[in-house]
Amino acid sequence: MIPKVDFHTHTSYCDGKDTPRQMVEEAYRRGFSCLGISGHSFTSFDDGWCMSLENTKKYIEEINLLKKEYQGRMDILCGIERDYYATPSEFIFDYVIGSVHYVKVGEEYFTVDYTPEETKRIVNEYFQGDFDAFAESYFSNVSDIVEKTDCDIIGHFDLVSKFSDSLGIHESERYLEAGYNAIRNLIKYDKPFEINIGAIIRGYKQVPYPSEKFMAEILRLGGKVCVSGDCHNCCNLGNKLEVGYSFARKCGFDTVQVFTKDGFHELKIVDI
């Protein structure tokens, strides 16, 4: 049976569509045992999709109230998706997802996951049309995500591939080597790599992050994985989580990490 758990969700405090209460109520209605909400951390150079520092405080306060309200019925966790370039803060969270959403050229920051058209423009204007160079810049950041964010979970490892299908881009040797290097550097931290199905739900990809080839390298090196929906609205809570678990099995993993209020619990895939 698929665990009714998700730790990567967003609310109207950042770029999600629904309030924390709406997300919690829907998760409870759908039989969740644990819901983690992970607002986007504040980034001073691009504040249109993340939480402000003031709203981060309100976010924590609201989720803590919901925790108390649902105590004994459903576990609720207050997390953060901390970007590589996040503005430092003193806020404390139950867990941290470490993610890269930007590359930096000179003093400018460029998003890797806005639209296919914007990705194409960035690659053409700032990387001389070389998608592999764009990916190498991205994976250079990813390789350092644990040190930069002190994360518990490595978020959507190859997010840079979000629009590969629509742009007709394939995993070249250079692209793969950049990703492999990042995996080799991250393995030593013993943090689970998130199998993220968000781009499938939104119609951009047919398979989760990380790709099968990157999953093979994570497995070869003894890495761990966990599954999330990267959900941005109530209607998608829990949808297609089974795709992530099936993908882990297909890629050769015997176990997955399931996040709970007590930390990670290892679950044998044969028990799902």
Contact criterion met (CB below 8 Å) for 194 and 225? yes
What is the distance between the terminal CA atoms of the chain, rounded to a whole angstrom? 4
Task: Answer yes or no: pTM beyond 0.75.
Answer: yes
pLDDT digits (tens, 9 = 90+) for 96-119: 999 999 999 999 999 999 999 999
pLDDT at 271 over 80: no
CATH number at 112 reads 3.20.20.140
Counted domains in the chain? 1
Sorted by sequence, the CB contacts under 8 Å of residue 83 that are 6+ apart come out as 40, 41, 43, 50, 99, 100, 101, 102, 149
pLDDT of res. 259: 86
User: How crowded is the C-beta side of 32, counted as CA atoms within 13 Å?
Assistant: 27
pLDDT digits (tens, 9 = 90+) for 179-237: 999 999 999 999 999 999 999 999 999 999 999 999 999 999 999 999 999 999 999 99
pLDDT digits (tens, 9 = 90+) for 246-259: 999 999 999 999 98
Rounded Cα distance between 250 and 50, Å, is 34
Rounded Cα distance between 159 and 112, Å, is 7
Rounded Cα distance between 211 and 145, Å, is 18
On average, the pLDDT of the chain sits at 96
pLDDT digits (tens, 9 = 90+) for 129-164: 999 999 999 999 999 999 999 999 999 999 999 999
Q: In which domain, by residue range, is 142 found? A: 5-271
Give the Cβ contact number of residue 148 at 10 Å: 16
pLDDT of res. 270: 77
Peptide bond into 116 cis (omega under 30): no
pLDDT at 272 over 90: no
pLDDT digits (tens, 9 = 90+) for 67-82: 999 999 999 999 999 9
Sorted by sequence, the CB contacts under 8 Å of residue 84 that are 6+ apart come out as 98, 99, 100, 101, 102, 141, 142, 144, 145, 148, 149
Contact criterion met (CB below 8 Å) for 175 and 119? no
